């Protein structure tokens, strides 16, 4: 018999993470310009379908079949195909003796992470990439970037064996996606029409609310148990997001235009959510406060640096998600404590060694360098097959009508 309470909890956590992808679509759709609302939302929603197809055929197996210690994976980098098309798994299959819930739920839970990760990247190249090229990008980026990092960190691969920690995706999700977003900006260049304002700020608010709500499943569910670590991860998620939002608001209020903006408040919250992700189940509530403040300052400065360099990362994916993942992964090496999670380690501030900090820094550097340069390479390859960049006419007319033959609302 399955643990009914744990099984129910994991179903709920999976549902929450699924809700994040529509939330991201609303968040990006509200920030985009009127002519491109559907195109950016489409890029999130199509991942719900296409990623599921990939996950069924081979994605889950490449991430979670085999491990380095048993010599049953490919050099600790990627899994095998033993579970392709969910071979050998039935509704009665138990995930593990320690975590007594159906493996089907674990399949679905991790699939939701796979769905949202490439969708995060799309906010960087809004208005500029063809839909056909994005489909190819979505497929190959998952296979060659996301799947290997999932296996290396969470699937018993080389980084896991080395002792690298990432509770819910600072390395696997946010760093890889954030720096892939920066690479895509360099490849496609700036928008032809950069002077636009968000078309629907209330829609951004709805998206932020869904992301924040879903993030409880993203972080707390990553413990895959109902215990004190789950509770810590849950509360740390909210604390870090709240402190980051207020920190961003205070900075914005006292610099630049000296006005507290609604978008700034919401962006700060997302920065806090991204930054606490790798550390959520390893740190105290007091440390979550500090991580939230650091996230607000660090991600704000990253966005301002991007603006000073004139990088057209339209929706600040690199500054918020990429740098949030980097900051959170490094913070983990300082603030982690075994008093919160005995399966973790003690960070530097709790008597830990510099070796763990070194491992975290090496892992995050590996993720950002590989994510950045492979994305550049991948986009060049795709561009040989189909044009990656939207034409001037397509961008001017709007990608909604150019690629999808639809408009978000009738403006006649």
pLDDT tens sequence across 332-349: 999 999 999 999 999 999
Q: Which residues pair with 16 in a beta bridge?
A: none
pLDDT score, position 411: 58
Tokens for 138?
């979505």
- Whole-angstrom Cα distance, residue 14 to residue 20? 10
Mean pLDDT value across residues 60-79: 97
pLDDT score, position 409: 77
Asked, for residue 211, whether it belongs to a domain, the answer is yes
For residue 243, what is the domain's CATH number? 1.10.3430.10
Asked, for residue 410, whether it belongs to a domain, the answer is no
pLDDT score, position 306: 97
Mean pLDDT value across residues 376-382: 98
For residue 32, the enclosing domain spans 4-404
Nearest to 62 by CA among 92, 107, 27: 107
Mean pLDDT value across residues 23-44: 94
Backbone angles phi, psi at 259, to 5 degrees: -135, 135
Give yes or no for residue 304 having a pLDDT over 60.
yes
Asked, for residue 409, whether it belongs to a domain, the answer is no
- Whole-angstrom Cα distance, residue 185 to residue 187? 5
Asked, for residue 368, whether it belongs to a domain, the answer is yes
Please indicate whether residue 197 or residue 243 has the higher confidence score (pLDDT). Answer: 243
Q: What is the mean pLDDT of the chain?
A: 96
Asked, for residue 411, whether it belongs to a domain, the answer is no
Q: Which residue has the tokens 């998206």?
A: 207
Mean pLDDT value across residues 62-77: 96
Segment holding 107, helix H or strand E: helix 103-121
Give yes or no for residue 56 having a pLDDT over 80.
yes
Q: How many Cβ atoms are within 10 Å of 94's Cβ, its own excluded?
A: 15
Q: How large a percentage of the chain has pLDDT more than 90?
A: 93
Q: At what angle do helices 262-276 and 228-254 cross, to 10 degrees?
A: 140
Tokens for 107?
């399949």
Q: Which residues pair with 74 in a beta bridge?
A: 78
pLDDT in tens, 170-224: 999 999 999 999 999 999 999 887 767 889 999 999 999 999 999 999 999 999 9
Sign of CA dihedral 332, 62, 4, 117: positive
Mean pLDDT value across residues 30-54: 95
**Which runs of consecutive H residues, i.e. helices, occur in 277-336?**
285-308, 317, 323-335
pLDDT score, position 1: 83
Q: Are 119 and 44 in contact (CB under 8 A)?
A: yes
Is residue 64 classed as helix, strand or coil in its secondary structure?
Answer: helix
Lowest mean pLDDT among 86-95, 101-110, 254-263, 352-361: 254-263
pLDDT score, position 86: 98
Asked, for residue 212, whether it belongs to a domain, the answer is yes
* Domains contained in the chain, number: 1
Asked, for residue 99, whether it belongs to a domain, the answer is yes
Nearest to 169 by CA among 209, 218, 210: 218
Q: How many CA atoms lie within 13 A of 218 on its CB side?
A: 35
Segment holding 255, helix H or strand E: none
Give yes or no for residue 412 having a pLDDT over 60.
no
With b for 16 or more beta-carbon neighbours within 10 A and e for fewer, the 240-253 pattern comes to bbbbbbbbbbbbbe
Q: Which residue has the tokens 């997302």?
A: 270
Give yes or no for residue 54 having a pLDDT over 70.
yes
pLDDT score, position 193: 74
- Whole-angstrom Cα distance, residue 9 to residue 220? 10
Asked, for residue 90, whether it belongs to a domain, the answer is yes
- Surface-to-core class of residue 390, CB atoms within 10 Å of its CB (0-12 exposed, 13-18 middle, 19+ buried): buried
pLDDT score, position 104: 98
Q: Which residue has the tokens 């997001």?
A: 241
Region for residue 226 given its phi and psi (left: phi exceeds 0; alpha: psi -120 to 50; beta: otherwise): beta
Q: How large a percentage of the chain has pLDDT more than 70?
A: 99
């Amino acid at each position: 018999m399955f643990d009914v309470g744990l099984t129910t909890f994991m179903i709920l956590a999976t549902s929450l993470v699924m809700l994040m992808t529509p939330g991201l679509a609303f968040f990006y759709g509200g920030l985009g310009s009127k002519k491109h609302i559907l195109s950016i939302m489409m890029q999130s929603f199509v991942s719900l379908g296409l990623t599921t197809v990939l996950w069924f055929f081979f994605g889950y197996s490449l991430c979670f079949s085999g491990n380095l210690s048993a010599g049953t994976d490919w050099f600790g980098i990627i899994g095998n195909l033993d579970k392709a098309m969910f071979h050998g798994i039935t509704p009665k299959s138990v995930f593990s003796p320690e975590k007594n819930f159906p493996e089907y739920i674990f399949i679905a839970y991790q699939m939701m992470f796979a769905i949202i990760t490439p969708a995060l990247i799309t906010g960087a190249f809004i208005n500029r990439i063809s839909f056909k090229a994005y489909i190819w990008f979505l497929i190959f980026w998952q296979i060659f970037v996301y799947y290997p990092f999932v296996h290396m960190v969470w699937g018993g691969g080389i980084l896991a064996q080395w002792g690298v920690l990432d509770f819910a995706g600072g390395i696997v999700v946010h760093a890889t996606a954030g720096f892939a977003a920066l690479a895509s900006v360099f490849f496609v260049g700036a928008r032809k029409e950069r002077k636009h304002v968000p078309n629907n700020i209330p829609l951004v608010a709805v998206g932020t609310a869904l992301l924040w709500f879903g993030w409880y499943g993203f972080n707390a569910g990553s413990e895959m148990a109902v215990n004190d670590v789950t509770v810590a991860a849950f509360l740390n998620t909210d604390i870090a997001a709240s402190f980051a939002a207020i920190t961003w608001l205070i900075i914005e209020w006292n610099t630049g235009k000296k006005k507290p903006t609604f978008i700034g408040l919401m962006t700060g919250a997302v920065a806090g959510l991204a930054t606490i992700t790798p550390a959520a189940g390893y740190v105290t509530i007091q440390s979550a406060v500090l991580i939230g403040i650091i996230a607000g300052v660090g991600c704000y400065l990253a966005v301002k640096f991007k603006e000073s360099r004139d990088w057209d990362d339209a929706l600040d994916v690199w500054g918020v998600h990429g740098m949030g993942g980097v900051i959170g992964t490094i913070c983990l090496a300082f603030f982690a404590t075994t008093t919160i999670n005995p399966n973790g380690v003690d960070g530097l501030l709790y008597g830990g060694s510099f070796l763990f900090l070194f491992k975290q820094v090496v892992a995050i550097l590996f993720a950002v360098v590989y994510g950045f340069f492979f994305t550049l390479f991948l986009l060049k390859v795709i561009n040989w097959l189909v044009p990656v960049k939207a034409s001037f006419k397509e961008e001017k007319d709007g990608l909604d009508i150019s690629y999808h033959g639809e408009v978000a609302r009738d403006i006649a």
